[in-house]
Structure 1
């Protein structure tokens, strides 16, 4: 067997594999002999079928299988031995006059080569790392939400600010007859709110769809109609009020603290607010870190300029998946994924150059931390270490789960590496400021 490489340019190459009869004949004969021992053919005892008959019946198929197996193994070994950094998979070059009846065969494969490039992490302009803090307004809202969640509902007879109404919206011409529930504070227009405020249980009031709720989606939901119909709907509605309820917030006392945070965990409103702030900022820290990783990714992609073997990758994409892509679809897919592919190459270079790796211990530790967090939500915060480890190993025995966790662990290692090596500046912001800066 002979394997050779011809570089077409810096990003494309062709591998030629020449296979001679002596490379495969022994394997083919061995398979055919096994077929002979087990073949059941009428008129012949088992194991006594003439070899020529077996060869005539199965020879071509066995030859093709063994040559393809030898070809694939040899190609993979050659790529590994030569340390060829390829993108996608080798693509066989079509041969119109290929003859399986010949004794010697020649195959060619196109390769897309990963580009070589230099990468620097020395960014002169600092990248912002947002440290998101919990402001008093956010904490106030969270406290009110907890009080409402554990409060009590008291039936009332007259609609007042903050009350919840259960009733039926009706308009015969538009075919609207829908049971609904809404808080009076959700009503958007002053005129509509004025009509409903002061109304009593069992009464009917007339309102207009215009400015009834803040948006068309909410209007559609409350009236039980399609969002498209709600867009241009300008009619009067009859609201029959069946029930009026007041949500009385729970008092900030030890009973509420124990219900929400666990018995004895919190003993005062001050501790409650501190706990809310701490938990919120831990969640915000994850969002801040993710944004930092996104910004660093964009910076790194923009800091290097290299080409990809685009024509090869378009052809390769056409071979992927159960439904084959057209050339036009493959080009669109390539353009959409080009930035992600570039970052994969950058990321791979950083990982290799700095010996970053995820160990089994890293995965086990990550799995245990997640299990602890999940168990704490159900009030089981003190599972024994041996139980935690047993559950973690069962989680990691799922290959898909282990792969996802390994990717997440490597992202965290990369983020820690970037924080240490790159020029960053911290900026403290409230959550609202963070959303405004990042998403607007």
Structure 2
């Protein structure tokens, strides 16, 4: 067997694999004998089928399969050993059925699209802006109020406030506004409503200011825009029936539960930040400011990366790509891409491909390597971010490590973690190699800068 490579352009080549009968004959015989041992063939005992019969029945297909396997492996090995920067996949030339009756030796050819050479230079003369977002006092106050509500207490109230829960009997009214007394009347004796969550704010306002023993006329259907599940829960009826209930109801208030925000004390500090992390309100508010700025730092990082991508693409993006080979690859590998729309789809793909090639050269220049510790630490950060979305900011390391293991055990998530970890290490390395010009800005200023970018 012989494998050769001929350059057909700056970024294209043709790979030729020549195979002789001696390269595949033994493997064909082995595979045919394996079929005889493992398959039941009518008229023969399993394991006692004459080789001639096996060859007559299966020889052509097996020979074709073996030749294709050998050729594919040879091409892949050549590409790997010679470190050819192939884009996409090798494209077979002149795919035809093998003429096994008249030929024993065969030649296969593949078109290759190759990545262009990029000599990327890094240095302090390259200046990239980095915008740190400062949290305003108003933002800190808003975050404090949210935490105080989250860790506040529900206590009996005297009148309905905007965030109150209201309990009482909910009775269906007739067209005259009187409580229905017929057998089909809907009556929820131990009802409970949360006006703060009503989708119709006018319905919520009907409850505000009312006290125990007051009666409020409202329309349950309007409170949830007719959601059958919500109506069924509020009125104690089946979902099937709930969707048709559009009449008014009367609620006789028997109990009001209001939320009292937590006081600024050690209990609140510990609930928000962890045991004894801070011991006074000033440090607590300072920690909130840091927390907000850390959350916003992801936006700063996105814009920083965008600036680097923009600079590098403008400088190195005028590269030659094996467009025609890549178009053939797209048509061969994607059912939605055809000869008719491949030009349009390739045009969409080309900028991303160029940036990916540039990023790979940047990673080589920065000597980026990823190990298991890197993946675990990034997975833990992802887990912590997910917990924080639900207000859980004090998760212990053991729990985070356990979630990180689960994330990395999922193949799709693992690949995403690998890509994100690689990007994080790359852009951190670029911060050391380039001149990063940091600026402190407000959130509104940052939004204006990001929109312009």
- Smaller-chain TM-score range? 0.7 to 0.9
- Among residues 383, 393, 396, which one is paired with 1:381 in the alignment? 396
Q: How does 1:272-283 map to 2 (within 5 A)?
A: 272-283=284-295
> For residues 221 and 21 of structure 1, do their structure 2 counterparts lie closer, same or farther at Cα, with a shift above 3 Å needed?
farther
> Aligned equivalents of 2:365 and 2:145: distance in 1?
51
Q: How does 1:57-76 map to 2 (within 5 A)?
A: 57-76=57-76
The residue aligned with 1:343 is 355
Q: How does 1:219-230 map to 2 (within 5 A)?
A: 223=225
8 A Cα contact 1:165 1:241, kept in partner: no
> Could you tell me how far 1:131 is from its partner in structure 2?
1.1
> Aligned equivalents of 1:373 and 1:123: distance in 2?
33
> Could you tell me how far 1:194 is from its partner in structure 2?
11
> Aligned equivalents of 1:222 and 1:375: distance in 2?
29
> Could you tell me how far 1:435 is from its partner in structure 2?
2.5
> Aligned equivalents of 1:241 and 1:301: distance in 2?
65
The residue aligned with 2:433 is 421
The residue aligned with 2:331 is 318
Q: How does 1:350-389 map to 2 (within 5 A)?
A: 350-367=362-379, 377=392, 381=396, 383=398
Kindly provide the CA deviation profile for residues 126-168 of structure 1, in whole angstroms up to 9, marking residues without a partner as x. Answer: 32101122221110111122223334567878888x67799x9
Secondary structure of the residue that 1:435 maps to in structure 2?
helix
* Structure 2 runs not aligned, ≥5 long: 176-191, 228-247
> Aligned equivalents of 1:90 and 1:413: distance in 2?
31
> For residues 129 and 107 of structure 1, do their structure 2 counterparts lie closer, same or farther at Cα, with a shift above 3 Å needed?
same
Secondary structure of the residue that 1:318 maps to in structure 2?
helix
8 A Cα contact 1:130 1:427, kept in partner: yes
> Could you tell me how far 1:398 is from its partner in structure 2?
4.4
> For residues 36 and 301 of structure 1, do their structure 2 counterparts lie closer, same or farther at Cα, with a shift above 3 Å needed?
same
Alignment of 1:302 with 2:314, yes or no, is yes
> For residues 117 and 38 of structure 1, do their structure 2 counterparts lie closer, same or farther at Cα, with a shift above 3 Å needed?
closer
Secondary structure of the residue that 2:333 maps to in structure 1?
coil
Q: How does 1:232-271 map to 2 (within 5 A)?
A: 248-271=260-283
Aligned residues: 406
Alignment of 1:90 with 2:90, yes or no, is yes
> Could you tell me how far 1:110 is from its partner in structure 2?
1.3
Q: How does 1:20-59 map to 2 (within 5 A)?
A: 20-59=20-59
8 A Cα contact 1:39 1:49, kept in partner: no
8 A Cα contact 1:87 1:112, kept in partner: yes
> Aligned equivalents of 1:370 and 1:250: distance in 2?
29
Kindly provide the CA deviation profile for residues 72-124 of structure 1, in whole angstroms up to 9, marking residues without a partner as x. Answer: 01101111233221100011123457523321212121111112233233485
* Structure 1 runs not aligned, ≥5 long: 173-178, 206-219, 226-237
Q: How does 1:65-214 map to 2 (within 5 A)?
A: 65-95=65-95, 98-101=98-101, 102-122=103-123, 126-151=127-152, 202=215
Aligned Cα root-mean-square deviation (Å): 4.4
> Could you tell me how far 1:46 is from its partner in structure 2?
4.2
> Could you tell me how far 1:263 is from its partner in structure 2?
4.4
> Aligned equivalents of 1:187 and 1:368: distance in 2?
40
